[in-house]
Structure 1
Amino acid sequence: MMTTELPNRELKVEDNLHYVKFTGSESYVLANKGLTNWEQALNATTDDGVQYIGEAGSQSQVTGYAPTVSYEGRAYPGDAFNYWVYLQGKEQRVGSTFEEIEVETWNEKTAKSGDFVAYQRVYEVQPDNPGSGEAGGKLMCSGTFAQQGDQVKGTFNIKTKTFTADSATE
């Protein structure tokens, strides 16, 4: 049986950071300015209504996931990632993907190492609002980031901006 040491602290709003790499970026940059919502949904697929002959009730079993992120925020051309996302919708680009590393800054691998538990994912950008809004208001962007393939668990060093998959260290 695997044992896990539990972090001994309360989570705060800023504790999960999203580093991204996209067409035109040389290294990971922090997804930051402009985005006001990054809400993940696992979208579990299930096999519902399984009822075995010796049981009175039925069961529901998870068979897979189709993870997505709902994003929204202001169009913010001064932020490289936000502007890139804006252009995907405004120019109606199809099939645009980016790599994301979600870093749990509250879950350091070893004390003072700078290596944090992280999850690497690839997303396709599926814009809804490419950058529009009410008269006199800020241009708003929204849509979905649809995960492509499986996530990879590993560590991310914020100083060196390096991701290492757990399988690479075993």
Structure 2
Amino acid sequence: MATILRHQRLAFLDIAGKYELFGNGVTDWTVAGNAKTAEKQYVHQQNASGGLSGYAPTMAITAEAFSDDPVMEYIMDIARTWDIGAKAHTNIVVVDTWEGTEAARVAVKQPVVISIDNPGSGPSGEALAVTATLTYDGDAIQGTFNMTTKAFAANEGN
């Protein structure tokens, strides 16, 4: 049994149909499941009963702005224009590099909407700090990702 390290789970952002590594400048990437629960308590019960009705996941990122990096340029362009249209809607592919082969790593493709929390600010002499939230939009698609060609393939039945 080996410890899975943070750098072994990668994300690729869909930029105009091409997947680019989500990493340069990103210092934190935290996914929150935001579980949705439903509870009922009937008149004959002392305690309520509940269940899980779904999730509303988000991925919060903290980054330093980098030039010449396609993902950071994409996010900074959204931040500059406060885009809420087509550019803010894209896909990410999260890849577990410890599973599968180089040509078929276990992956999940997820439609997302990118919202900017901090468009670039910070103390003098330091890199621009950028924070954003990627809100998951709909169901994920299970599949594989080819690390060489950067191509996602959905599993049969998705």
| TM-score above 0.5 | yes
The structural deviation recorded for 1:20 is 1.5
The structural deviation recorded for 1:67 is 1.0
Distance 1:15 1:53 in 2: 50
Counterpart of 1:162, as a letter, is A
1:124-139 superposed matches below 5 A: 124-139=113-128
* Residue of structure 2 equivalent to 1:31: 22
Pick from 43, 55, 58 the counterpart of residue 68 of structure 1. Answer: 58
1:1-170 superposed matches below 5 A: 8-23=1-16, 27-48=18-39, 50-51=40-41, 56-95=46-85, 96-108=88-100, 112=101, 114-167=103-156
Q: Which has the higher strand share?
A: 2
Gaps of 5+ in 2: none
Question: What is the percentage of aligned positions where both structures have the same residue?
Answer: 28
RMSD: 1.9
- Is contact 1:34–1:73 with CA below 8 Å preserved after alignment? yes
Distance 2:151 2:127 in 1: 35
Return closer, same or farther for 1:143/1:68 CA change in 2, 3 Å cut-off.
same
The aligned length equals 156
Distance 1:62 1:90 in 2: 38
The structural deviation recorded for 1:150 is 0.8
Counterpart of 2:142, as a letter, is K
* Residue of structure 2 equivalent to 1:5: none
